[in-house]
Amino acid sequence: MSITDLQMLFRFIGGLGMFLYGMEVMADGLQKSAGRRMQQLLSTLTSSRFTGILLGAGITAVIQSSSATTVMVVGFVNAGIMSLQQAVGIIMGANVGTTVTSWIVSMSEWGEMLKPEFFAPVLVGVGAFLTMFAKGVKKKQAGEILVGIGVLFIGLNFMSAAITPYKDAPVFAKAFSVLGKNPILGILTGAVVTGIIQSSSASVGILQTLALNGIVNWQSAIFITLGQNIGTCVTALISSLGANKTAKRAAMIHFLFNTIGAVIFGIVMFIVFVIYPDLASSSISSVEISVFHTAFNVGNTLILFPFAGSLVKASGFLVRKGAEDLKTSDDEEFQMQRRLDERILETPSFAIENVTNEVVHMGFTALKNLDYASGALLDYSQDSVEKVNQLECRINGYEKILTSYLVKINNQSLNDEQHLLVKNLFYTVSDIERISDHCENLSELAVQKEDHNILFTEEAKDEMREMLSAVRNSLEHSILARRDSDMAEVRSVVQWEEKVNLLEEELRERHIERLSNHKCKPENGVIFLDALSNLERISDHAHNIAGYIRDEI
């Protein structure tokens, strides 16, 4: 190998690296720009397969990877958030959405001004200036997208330039002639290369780069492209290894869908090439690869859409449930860990929506704990005290799980709005845990009250009920505010917090007056005042939670 050959090899490797990096940067910028719009898509998941197709296509067009979308779907299914019937539509749509990248790559053939070497440097320059010097968040995100597209095109140009000197080399003509005449070998080549790269968009891009230099014929390109669509299933299949059987079935549906489509189109195109041998051996362009890639994925979706139910049944036949999968765990912490599937981190927007739901669940658990603690304080029962202790242990477990998951989300590519939300969720989890601690304190006061045979007067009981009701309203509205990001709920929390503060001061004075008039024993007073203090702090934490939401809105 000469120094020139080595230089061309380095240029190709560098170009491939820039292409892959550009795709990553562009996808990150698009995700950040989409922000909450992608989060809100989670709530649109329905049993409608057509809606699922649109959703899958939209998500994949943004994150630029059908593999990532399918891995995320496996995570949703494993977490119990999505059914297999919903997953089918999204998987079909993901294949359609992944065609966007091939059209971006083929832009260089649309006209002289769209060639990468013409405008890519300007995109990188403008994007870099926006990223470094722009004040607005949206402008910085637009800069990231421009840099990503620019680097992607520069990488393509590097790869193309590295191949150009060898486009007339006999080895290429021989290789693609062999691959074209042997459909199975062509499909296997596409599948293996894509499986190694873990991205059909990238492998199709490499094929298009070869096509730009006129060294790929129609026959080999078609079969390699079909193989690439099978190879893209590898990522989801590997990801499903640690998941439950239902999630494995989701990955199998993806494999069946792409493989059946590849077989159907492979047979049709083989017949076409037999009838038109000149077409088979003629050179294919980058745009023509994009056309076929899109036609295959859209056509495959149209053909197999009516048979989505059959795909689900076939996946069930191939991946059977074992005895261990028929068992369900009642352990709440286990269920939360299952719902917070790490595969969902592939798309941070969905991960944030998912973890927010779990934080709200933790909040409602704390509200239930307050109810048990209130019952123990007013009308003592050992059962209420035990339930408070059980829920306190559960909430401590939730705190560890949620904190760990939020750290993982925070390490993903987030925009400023998402970083603020994740930070506030950290704080919210801490506040909810402290609320549960105060519930445990109330429970311990109830035990002391019972052990020392301390009784509240009817007047004191009525006052305590009023305080408990106000604190409960404050906490409930704060959880609803977190769930719905509702400013009206935030205002309700502020109003109830003010009432709690006034009540705490007023009831403290009344109780001191009862003590002074010897209507109440000092030991009674200590428990009553400690209870008031704990309740007032619970309301303070509820107010903190509402404050975080006010900052976000």
Surface-to-core class of residue 167, CB atoms within 10 Å of its CB (0-12 exposed, 13-18 middle, 19+ buried): middle
Surface-to-core class of residue 478, CB atoms within 10 Å of its CB (0-12 exposed, 13-18 middle, 19+ buried): buried
The per-residue pLDDT for 492 is 95
**Token digits of residue 46:** 């329905």
Stated length of the chain: 553
**Token digits of residue 433:** 């845990």
**d(Cα 107, Cα 290) in Å, to the nearest integer?**
10
**Token digits of residue 469:** 């009701």
The per-residue pLDDT for 323 is 47
Using only C-alpha atoms, the chain has a radius of gyration, in whole angstroms, of 31
**d(Cα 209, Cα 506) in Å, to the nearest integer?**
78
Contact 304, 261 (CB under 8 A): yes
Q: Is the dihedral of CA 465, 467, 469, 471 positive or negative?
A: negative
Q: Where are the domains of the chain?
A: 3-323, 334-552
E runs forming strands in 169-216: none
The per-residue pLDDT for 326 is 42
The per-residue pLDDT for 525 is 62
Instruction: Please give the angle made by the CA atoms of 280, 281 and 286, to the nearest 5 degrees.
Output: 80
Surface-to-core class of residue 118, CB atoms within 10 Å of its CB (0-12 exposed, 13-18 middle, 19+ buried): middle
- Flag whether the pTM goes above 0.85: no
**Region 334-552: CATH code:** 1.20.58.220
Can you name the residues that pair with 217 across neighbouring β-strands?
A: 283
Tens-level pLDDT at each residue, the chain (553 residues): 578 778 877 887 887 788 777 777 776 776 666 555 555 555 555 557 788 888 888 878 777 677 778 888 888 888 777 788 888 888 898 888 888 878 877 776 665 555 666 777 888 888 888 888 887 777 887 888 888 878 877 877 777 677 666 555 565 556 656 766 788 888 888 888 888 777 777 778 778 877 877 778 898 889 989 988 898 888 888 878 777 888 889 889 999 999 999 999 999 999 999 999 888 888 888 888 889 999 999 999 999 999 988 998 998 888 876 544 544 445 778 888 888 888 888 778 888 888 999 999 999 999 999 999 999 988 888 899 999 999 999 999 999 999 999 999 998 878 788 889 999 999 999 999 999 999 999 999 999 888 777 777 788 888 889 999 999 999 999 999 999 889 999 999 999 999 999 999 898 888 777 767 766 666 656 788 899 999 999 999 999 999 999 988 7
**d(Cα 137, Cα 414) in Å, to the nearest integer?**
12
Q: Is the dihedral of CA 249, 255, 257, 259 positive or negative?
A: negative
DSSP state of 136: S
